[in-house]
Amino acid sequence: MVKTDIGYTTTDTIMVRGKNLSTEIIGKFDFVDMIFFTTLSRMPTPREKVMVNALLVTTADHASRPARCRPA
């Protein structure tokens, strides 16, 4: 068994903050939910979720700029 402050694994189970990864998290949490649940032990508020999603979307645009603007 591997155990950390966030969770533990056994031969048949992965637990994250007291929830079973395969039966209670996958298919029910999205990426932002998982960030909050893993790091803060709680789900995000609707406002937090909107803000974090907006920040993640802006990072996807980081490298999308015209070639003439790229550093030499």
Cα separation of 64 and 4, whole Å? 38
Task: Report which residue type is found at 28.
Answer: K
Model confidence, pTM: 0.75
- 3-class secondary-structure state, position 44: coil
pLDDT in tens, 16-71: 999 999 999 999 999 999 999 999 999 999 999 999 999 999 888 666 666 666 66
Contact 53, 32 (CB under 8 A): yes
The helix (run of H) or strand (run of E) holding residue 38 is helix 31-40
